[in-house]
Structure 1
Amino acid sequence: MTQKCRLCQHPMDFFDSARNRDYYRCPQCDSIQLDHEQLLNPMDEKKRYDTHNNDIMDKGYQSFVSPITNYILNHFDKDDQGLDFGAGPGPVISKLLMDQSYSISQYDPFFHPDNELLNKSYDYIIACEVIEHFNHPKSSFNAIKKSTKTNGQWIFMTYLYDDSIDFQKWHYKNDETHVIFYSKKTLEYIKNIYQFKSLIINNRLIIFSN
């Protein structure tokens, strides 16, 4: 059965199999996606997230998210409205920003499922290690785009794939909830299709300006 890209709807090509999971690559947007029939059901997905040890007081975790935290502190004011999209059970970035008197709300379909937050507009939306979890990336990106103010920004963190990476040995695919991987070409596709003004890629830190 043909696999259609869940980001751009284009038919995908088989890419690789690893750890009893099959992956497809889209020739249009260049994303790599898990076979849609192998996606976890919501109950099993939440069980996997419940095993994450995201202690908001952990200094190592705070350091890991610091590219986003430092960017917000250096580019936005305390009066700007932010949204932590996919905040998870331990929203460390929100805590660090709120400790500095920043105004930021938390949304997560499992842990902070307040859909009303998605009907508001924000100066910045952050998603730290979240976009690789999108089972339905098109609808997720649509929701984020709709909630981003004009001149606002999306600030993401994820690991990008490129052809120098040995996919079989790549650690990032091993998490069962990591179901879509992006390349620089994929990000350019997202920039163009959603009509963003600019895209900045700084290692794991990705910034779209609206």
Structure 2
Amino acid sequence: MTGLQNSQCPLCGGREAGLFSRDKHHCYQLCPHCDLVYVPTAERPDPLAEKSSYDRHDKNTADGDYGKVLSRLTGPLLARLAPGSVGLDFGSGPGPLLAGQMREAGMRVRTFDVFYDPDASVWYQSYDFITCSDVLEHLHSPGRELDRLFSVLKPGGWLGIMTQRYDHDTGPAHASAHVTQVCFFSDASLHWLARRQQAELMLLEDDVALLQKSGN
């Protein structure tokens, strides 16, 4: 393991991270500024290993149980959107089930996935909402990607997130389940994000959060 050779936080850019924990796959660092727990750069999988892992663990099948899981995000989001709102499903995977749920509810949704749907034209328009389900924990540069998402989100628009948040007592308990999970947000991390983006944060469940971009 590489330990603390690279301690720059991929969310806020801070360089004062300390060791949080270790498991059989990685060591995990904790940023004192934004509270993100993350795997150091040298221990993250390369793109080929990532793609191979995702091909074996397709989250976006037409599975009824997973559809119910997603509804815990899409339901609260739909309750806050006007009919016909335009959205982006970021990290949609090879078979975007979440986008399908939103379309069935009358929303217009584009999709983007760096491995399965890398259509760069999605970044040349703005959106009423963006969804990000089971994605944040896999991002190698979450700060940069979240800045990009907020840059195309309209004032007053919504970012809907599904990611299992950790706490300092239990740590990122789901980390070792998938070696491509390299970033772990806490409540404090999402509050930091809301302040950075001047957004209102709503923590709905242990793994569901909504952020509304300032209307100004």
**TM-score normalised over the length of structure 2:** 0.91
SS in 2 for 1:90: coil
Please say if residues 56 and 95 of structure 1, whose CA atoms lie closer than 8 Å, have aligned partners that are also in contact: no
Query: 2:151 corresponds to which residue?
Result: 146
2:13 to 9, 15, 20: 9
2:202 is aligned with 1:200:
yes
Query: Given the alignment, which residue of 71, 79, 96 partners 1:66?
Result: 71
How far apart, CA to CA, are the structure 2 residues paired with 1:68 and 1:9? 29
Q: Determine the C-alpha separation between the residues in 2 that align with 1:82 and 1:62.
A: 18
Distance 1:125 1:33, change over 3 A: same
Say whether residues 1:98 and 2:92 are aligned partners: no
- C-alpha distance in structure 1 between counterparts of 2:211 and 2:27, whole Å: 30
Report deviation, 1:172. Answer: 3.7
Cα distance, 1:116–1:59 mapped onto 2, change above 3 Å: same
CA contact (8 A) 1:68 1:155 kept: yes
1:99 CA displacement: 2.4
Q: Which residue is equivalent to 1:178?
A: 181
> Structure 1 pair 50/165, CA: closer, same or farther in 2 (3 Å)?
same
% identity of equivalent residues = 27
Residues 82 and 122 in structure 1, CA contact (< 8 A), matched pair in contact too: yes
Tell me whether 1:57 sits opposite 2:62 in the alignment: yes
User: By how many angstroms is 1:55 displaced?
Assistant: 4.9
Secondary structure at the counterpart of residue 75 of structure 1: coil
1:86 alignment partner, one of 71, 87, 91: 91
| Separation (CA, whole Å) in 2 of partners of 1:128 and 1:2 | 28
CA contact (8 A) 1:107 1:114 kept: yes
Shift of 1:96: 1.7
SS at match of 2:94: coil
Cα deviations across residues 37-57 of structure 1 (Å, max 9, x unaligned)?
Answer: 011111111111111133542
1:29 is matched with 34
CA contact (8 A) 2:25 2:179 kept: no
Distance, in Å, in 1 between the alignment partners of 2:60 and 2:135 is 17
**AA of the residue aligned to 2:84:** D
Distance (whole Å) between structure 2 residues aligned to residue 125 and residue 116 of structure 1:
15
**Inter-partner Cα distance in structure 2 for 1:171 and 1:63:** 20
Q: 1:199 to 1:173 in 2, by over 3 A?
A: farther
Distance in 1, matches of 2:6 and 2:140, equals: 17
The runs of 4+ residues in structure 1 deviating greater than 4 Å are none
Change (3 A) 1:182 1:173: farther
Q: Are 1:112 and 2:114 counterparts?
A: no
Q: Normalising by the residue count of structure 1, what TM-score does the alignment of the two structures yield?
A: 0.93
Does the aligned pair in 2 maintain the 1:154–1:209 contact within 8 Å? yes
Count of residue pairs the alignment pairs up? 207
Which whole-Å CA distance do the structure 1 matches of 2:79 and 2:12 have between them?
34
Matching of residue 18 in structure 1 with residue 23 in structure 2: yes
1:164 maps onto 2:169 in alignment: yes
Q: Which amino acid aligns with 1:9?
A: G
